[in-house]
Amino acid sequence: MDTGTKNKITVDLSTGELLGSPVQNTVRTLRDLQGIFRDETARLAMDLDQTVYSVQVLMPVPEGSRGGLFWGNTFIQPGTVGDEYFMTKGHFHADRSRSEYYLGLAGKGALILMDENRRTRFEILERGSLHYIPPHTAHRVANIGASVLSFLACWPSDAGHDYQAIAAEGFSARLRNVNGAPTLVEEA
Ligand code: PAN
Ligand code: ZN
């Protein structure tokens, strides 16, 4: 008899951890984040094996399938590289028409958004805050708090990730700790 518990998937709503299903887990250490932070000397002086963030992804259909949805839980450790907060690499969706939802669960962060005209802004991401990432918008998240930041995400299975555009040109502004306040500073 199917009790309804088989393959049950749960999200621990206090930590954001995804439980009970085969999920893909990706860990990004400081070593993996070459070229992401402004202060490369500061990054290289740190323990490169230190985890900056990890992502659990649930993929019920193959990557690239039309009509499916993926679910991801991201955990960003607190910390800084120079005056920049620990953050995700950031990406456009490979299919620029694809959008996404983020929901904050724990900690305090900033969702940094850049449109295709390279206009950058940010929204405070915290427990209960819901964010719609529109099409044609690059996105990355920085942990601006003192504890682990976790957020949930849902996006189309055919969105894909374009990291190359960000690796090549970055965002037009960086979120930096200026006198203790997270401040978007335009790149020179
Ligand atoms: C998220 C991100 C996740 C990690 O699931 O992939 O937060 O960030 P990077 O992919 O930029 O390393 C998402 O936006 N998916 O589309
Ligand atoms: Zn995305």
Q: Atom 16 in ligand 1: which residue has the minimum CA distance?
A: 155
Take residue 109 and report the two structure tokens written for it. 């962060």
CA of 3 to the centre of ligand 2 (A): 35
Asked if residue 55 has its Cβ within 6 Å of ligand 1, the reply is yes
Residue ranges per structural domain of the chain: 10-186
Take residue 10 and report the two structure tokens written for it. 């749960």
Angle subtended at Cα 127 by Cα 111 and Cα 185, rounded to the nearest 5 degrees:
25
> Which phi and psi (to 5°) does residue 104 adopt?
-75, 140
Bridge partner residues of 125 (DSSP): 109
Are 51 and 33 in contact by the 8 Å Cβ rule? The answer is no
Average pLDDT over residues 39-44: 98
Strands 51-58 and 24-29: what pairing?
antiparallel
Residue-wise pLDDT for 95-133, tens only, equals 999 999 999 999 999 999 999 999 999 999 999 999 999
Q: What is the DSSP letter of 87?
A: B
In angstroms, rounded to a whole number, what is the distance separating the alpha carbons of residues 150 and 165? 25
Closest CA to 149 of 91, 82, 104: 104
Architecture (CATH level 2) of domain 10-186: Sandwich (2.60)
Q: Atom 8 in ligand 1: which residue has the minimum CA distance?
A: 88
Q: Is the pLDDT of residue 6 over 80?
A: no
The per-residue pLDDT for 10 is: 93
Are 52 and 76 in contact by the 8 Å Cβ rule? The answer is yes
Q: Is the pLDDT of residue 4 over 70?
A: no
CA of 186 to the centre of ligand 2 (A): 22
In one-letter notation, the amino acid at residue 67 is: G
Asked if residue 153 has its Cβ within 6 Å of ligand 1, the reply is yes
Average pLDDT over residues 161-174: 96
